[in-house]
Amino acid sequence: MKDDEVVGNFQELVSEVLIRHSSILDCLSKYQESTARVNRSVIKTVTDCGCISINANKKEYPNTESLKDCSKHMDSHIKGELCENCREVIAEEIGKHLFYLTALCNTLDYDLKDLFGLEQKRINTLGHFLLS
Ligand SMILES: [Zn+2]
């Protein structure tokens, strides 16, 4: 399977297996739940496993000549690295999140490849002025 077919094949597979949560209300609630589960899996990595920690403070923007250079100096606030187990758990939760995002797209008749293309075009247009 080519890389450019992965998204289309995934969206088709989701439409084939999604029977129980085909209602837009089920899609929305499962999508929201999956977002919370991704966040919780990251938090549990810090509070249960401890392989990473978070040391956050006010962001300081360096005096650089360009916004492009600025991104090289920004801190994620993460210290340490994910252990193999935590990496696997978070990947599984992100996968479920992608499933429900795709289900939402299917229910509203969006083509995921089109959305990726539109967003890529928007990012390319805005470039480093996209500060969100
Ligand atoms: Zn861990």
pLDDT in tens, 80-94: 999 999 999 999 999
What is the three-class DSSP state of 73?
helix
List alpha helices for the chain, DSSP H: 3-17, 24-44, 67-70, 84-107, 112-126
C-alpha of residue 80 to centroid of ligand 1, in Å = 10
Interval 115-124: pLDDT, tens? 999 999 998 8
C-alpha of residue 40 to centroid of ligand 1, in Å = 13
C-alpha of residue 123 to centroid of ligand 1, in Å = 33
Instruction: Please name which of 106, 126, 107 lies closest in space to residue 118, comparing C-alpha atoms.
Output: 126
More confident residue, 69 or 96: 96
pTM (predicted TM-score):
0.85
CA distance from start to end of the chain: 34
How many Å apart are CA 25 and CA 17, to the nearest integer?
17
Spell out the domain ranges in the chain: 22-127
Which residues, by Cβ under 5 Å, contact ligand 1, an ion? 49, 51, 83, 86
> Mean pLDDT throughout 103-110?
95
Predicted confidence at residue 65, as pLDDT, reads 65
Average per-residue pLDDT in the chain?
Answer: 89
Predicted confidence at residue 72, as pLDDT, reads 72
